[in-house]
A and B are shown apart, each in its own frame.
Chain A
Amino acid sequence: MKDLRPILSTLMRSKAGMVLIGTQIALTLAIVCNALFIMSQRLDLMGRASGINETDTFVISSQGFGAGFNIQTTIQADLALLRSLPGVAAAAPQNTVPLSGGGWSEGISLSPEQKTSTAGAAIYFTDEHGIDAFGLDLVAGRNFKSEEIGFRDQRENEWPPGIIITRLLGEKLFPGESPIGKQFYLNVEAAPITVVGVIEKMQMPWPRPGSRSGDPNTVEYSILVPQIVPFGNSYAYLVRAEPGRRDELMGVVEAKLGESNRSRLVEDLKSLQDIRAEAYRRDRAMTLILGGVIVALLGVTALGIVGMASFWVGQRTRQIGTRRALGATRRDILAYFLTENFLITTIGILVGVVLTYAFNLWLMANYRSPHLPWFYVPVGVVCLWLLGQIAVLGPATRASRVPPAVATRAA
């Protein structure tokens, strides 16, 4: 740092270059920090576990048509067929699955008099094989019994006496107590419902349920209901294959269901992994685009530094030669340019920190973005310091190789 004074006086004499590089650094810091923050939020979202077995499972749906079609017997026959297939570990009826983006939700009331519901929860209609097929973890209470499974018309508003809820929903409704045996209402004009079992985790079908209360656990408020509720003549199934046999079984199941009944069509065959990819496609796209912007931005900024530094080295060849002739070592020349870059970068960074928070405030005001965590800025600052030093290394090394004799030569 012994060259500080001459560096400062040089910089003051050619402010343009300093301002240009400084501004570039400032903008780069602001964009990179905020883009990384958005990326990390999306990666968190995409990395969130749904609580179900996604690797071995797939869904398939059946749509019956014509006057003679009987949905109830079809579902029974389909389930018997699915469970008889070799390679099928479990099969269950379902109205929706986590991450599918569409489903049924209900408000939960703890008393029939309350005006607004205590919490909203996703409803998964399934039977006693549901827990096994979804690969859920029953942590308290019991599973459904086969005699509890009801058949309900879509237009009816009848709920069964016993249901299974997720652990977090239990904590929300009955804080600090075991939910088993506790009661609540899905229809305040009907009888209350009793919790018979608790599963560890199961996400709602919506990957981003907006919560008006701001409760971050909302996404795990799910209820398993022991009912089969067809939508018209259509119904869907969830199949869990034995490990490694999913893809093979998907083809078999589609063919077998299609053959078993001619007055219906079989469709929407999808693995849970595809459903997950589809659910987060926009987030993945955003992450990739932001990643691209960050790389391009760092590249452009680095090239700008290289260009500017090369120009300065060229411009000062004679001075460098003179310094060398007067006894400066190569190392001194190298240090000079590295220090100069460090100073410019630091000035840019100071402005950049302000810009970073300004950008974050804009995102918070317009897009409900959370506050930028503190560590993004220091990490960004260190990266930009390094970027600057690495970018300037080439031109600075060239400068250090200027022979002292240049000073004595006419240009």
Chain B
Amino acid sequence: MFLYYFQLGLRSLRRNPVLTMLMVAGIGLGIAASMTTLTVMHLMGSDPIPWKSERLHYVQLDGWSPDRAYTDEGDPPDQLTYRDALALMEAGRADRQAAMYKIVLPVQPENAEVKPFNAVGRATHADFFAMFDVPFAYGGAWSRDEDARFGRTVVLSREINERLFGGEDSTGRSVRLDGVDYTVSGVLDVWEPRIKFYDLTNGAFNAHERFFIPFSTAIEREMGTAGNNNCWKERGSGWRAYLDSECIWIQMWVELGSPERRAEYQSFIDAYAGEQKRLGRFMRPLNNRLPNVTDWMEKQQVVTSDVEVQTGLAFAFLLVCLINTIGLLLAKFMRKAGEIGLRRALGASRRQVFAQHLVEAGVVGISGGLVGLALTGVGLMIVRALYTEFASVARFDWLMVFVSIALAIVASLLAGLFPTWRACRIVPAVQLKTQ
């Protein structure tokens, strides 16, 4: 029976190709607009490290100006001062911990044919790699000892290893960065988190690092941050004064295995703040936080408000397209009133008429869904072209493919429901009389 209704539906749709095309295109456009924006929003907001995001916590201490909160909402600063980061690192109270900041250094290849170039890197601690489950192709992270003794050691990205060593295992070899030689301890495998969640201060879609060196070494070499730096208090002159200043420029993450460990760490940083208060620092009310990865992404508004507004608009647009389809289907079914009357007079029950027309609506929906899916591909391409930095989040996602097909079918069945109901209420006698 279904197959027969399906054929009837196809025939009916073919009888009026322009109208059918309008309906399919309408649903397709609506689906494409809403799915494109929803995919971008979903991938932007989705957890980049779902297996352990609950255990990773960003450290926020409020040692900002007593006269003014860091933000209007009263949030603590989004980075740490050097002295606080150092104190927390030295205390080592978390399961894993890494302070970090963005650096840019000139790379001077040994191979004279490769011209020197600037590369974005990160100064951090050994735990960084284990904490974020960073995959290695060769070698591994440097040891905690290297952190302690200002080791001249470096972890390279796969991309820079390709450029410097032709992609071979370069562990133990030497790389010259800004006139200093570093020994390669490991080379990363491809590691490109969709969202650069560990440095949201400098941008969720910033370029990935090409190299990592120990935090202590970068400080010893007096490398300033290439990222954000914010000061509320005057600072003295010179590097030492900068390190002792109230300027914030360092990010810190800790791994805490359980809610109890998290609570312990919270009391530890609160106690640290109390200690600092006695030293005349941290003059603001106690406001230290340990957001996990997803909380921190939300706080830092990784999903931009433009994307949210676009998604809202796209769904409103889909609604208009659906209402439009309801109208067109209604017109179509009503025009067939004579035919429906005849079928009813010949013995078709209301149920059968209902089923037949719902199948027809479903066919429109599925075609609309398929067109929508194809157009979503185009939509994502347009997003990638308009927002090049969103390349990592403007791609097809299987979940989203299923959602869009389901959405198309549900939407078109909903759209078909009212016209179908109207169609099966047609009184056969009236229709036959007018013939």
Contact = CB atoms under 8 A, between A and B. Distances in A.
Interface of A: 16-17, 20-21, 23-24, 27-28, 30-31, 35, 38, 63-67, 115-116, 153-158, 187-189, 212, 231-233, 265, 267, 281-282, 284-286, 288-290, 293, 296-297, 300-301, 303-304, 307-308, 310-311, 314-315, 363, 366-367, 411
Nearest to A318: B434
Contacts of A30: 316
A290 B313 contact: yes
B223 interface: yes
Interface of B: 19, 22, 26, 29, 33, 65, 67-68, 72, 106, 108, 115-118, 178-179, 223-224, 234-239, 241-242, 304-306, 308-310, 313-314, 316-317, 319-321, 323-324, 326-328, 330-332, 334-335, 383, 386-388, 418, 422, 434-435
Given A24-B324, A265-B115, A300-B26, A116 B317 contact: no
Nearest to B330: A16
B228 to A, nearest CB: 9
22 contacts: A27-B319, A27-B320, A38-B309, A63-B106, A65-B108, A65-B179, A155-B242, A156-B237, A189-B234, A212-B72, A267-B117, A267-B118, A282-B387, A288-B386, A293-B314, A296-B29, A300-B26, A301-B320, A301-B324, A307-B22, A311-B334, A314-B335
Given A65-B106, A314-B335, 9 more contacts: A20-B326, A23-B323, A30-B316, A155-B241, A267-B117, A293-B317, A296-B33, A304-B328, A367-B309
Given A31-B317, A116-B67, A286-B306, A303 B22 contact: yes
Given A28-B320, A311-B335, A154 B224 contact: yes
B327 A155 contact: no
Contacts of A35: 313
B118 A411 contact: no
Contact of B320 (A265, A267, A300, A366): A300
Q: Is the interface of A mostly helix, strand, loop or mixed?
A: helix
A14 to B, nearest CB: 9
A16 B422 contact: yes
Chain B interface SS verdict (over half): helix
Contacts of B72: 212
Contact of A21 (B242, B327, B334): B327
Nearest to A363: B309
Most buried by B among A65, A153, A156, A158: A65
Contacts of A289: 310, 386
B316 A27 contact: yes
Contact of B306 (A24, A67, A282, A293): A282
A156 B238 contact: yes
Contacts of A311: 330-332, 334-335
Most B CB within 10 A of own CB, among A233, A293, A304? A304
Nearest to B232: A107
Contacts of A233: 106, 178
A115 B22 contact: no
Given A16-B418, A303-B22, A293 B387 contact: no
Contacts, number: 144
Given A67-B179, A232-B224, A157 B236 contact: yes
Nearest to A284: B386
A363 B352 CA distance: 47
A19 to B, nearest CB: 9
A289 B387 CA distance: 11
A157 B236 CA distance: 6
A304 B324 contact: yes
Contacts of B178: 65-66, 232-233
A187 B386 CA distance: 42
A411 to B, nearest CB: 6
Nearest to A210: B72
A265 B323 contact: no
7 closest A-B pairs (Cβ-Cβ)? A311-B331, A285-B386, A304-B324, A65-B106, A20-B327, A115-B67, A156-B237
Contacts of B332: 311
Contacts of B67: 115-116
B46 to A, nearest CB: 21
A358 to B, nearest CB: 12
Contacts of B326: 20
A31 B33 CA distance: 14
Nearest to A28: B320
Nearest to A104: B229
A100 B388 CA distance: 17
A116 B68 contact: yes
B313 A31 contact: yes
Given A17-B330, A307-B22, A411-B435, A265 B238 contact: no
Contacts of A301: 320, 324
Contacts of A63: 106, 118
Contact of A65 (B116, B224, B324): B116
Contacts of A296: 29, 33, 317
Given A23-B323, A303-B324, A308-B327, A265 B237 contact: no
B120 to A, nearest CB: 12
A295 B238 CA distance: 58
A107 to B, nearest CB: 8
Chain A CB count within 10 A is highest, among B236, B308, B313, B335, for: B313
Nearest to A101: B203
Contacts of A303: 22, 26, 324
Given A16-B330, A65-B108, A411-B435, A157 B320 contact: no
Most buried by B among A158, A289, A303: A289
